[in-house]
């Protein structure tokens, strides 16, 4: 699990795919965090096995070890387990009722579900 600040940094890394510290700092809006702060976040993310690096001369080139899709899938499964009694159906019910989806969006969602049913 990543903290909010780690997720922000991870999003930058997913966007760039491979990046040096300067590249990551450049993506932050002003006021930019201190390089030591970003370095600390990267170290924690390495310890959690989310980020790897390759030494290039005297610098480190960072890269994600987990895809955005893998991370989001794990987060969503955890949320369903925690908030919806491990029931995807309860989550889907909440999602479709509380997000005020249009008829067109609901039809698109139904088509996605029908497609998955046909594959199984």
Does residue 1 surpass a pLDDT of 90? Answer: no
Picking from 105, 93, 107, 13, the residue whose alpha carbon sits closest to that of residue 60 is 13
Q: How far apart are CA 20 and CA 56, in angstroms?
A: 9
The pTM is what?
0.78
Q: pLDDT digit string (tens) for 90-106?
A: 888 888 888 888 889 88
Q: Which residues contact 39 (CB under 8 A, 6 or more apart)?
A: 21
For the chain, domains (ranges, CATH) are 4-64 (1.10.10.10), 87-120 (no CATH)
């Amino acid at each position: 699990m990543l903290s909010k600040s780690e997720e922000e940094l991870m999003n930058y890394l997913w966007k760039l795919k491979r990046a040096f510290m300067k590249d990551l700092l450049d993506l932050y809006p002003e006021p930019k965090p201190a390089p030591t702060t970003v370095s600390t976040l990267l170290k924690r993310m390495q310890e959690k096995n989310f980020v790897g690096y390759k030494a290039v001369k005297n610098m480190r080139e960072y890269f994600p070890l987990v895809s955005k899709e893998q991370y989001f899938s794990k987060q969503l499964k955890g949320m369903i387990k925690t908030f919806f009694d491990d029931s995807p159906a309860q989550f889907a019910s909440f999602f479709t009722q509380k997000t005020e989806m249009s008829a067109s969006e609901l039809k698109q969602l139904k088509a996605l579900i029908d497609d998955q049913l046909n594959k199984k």
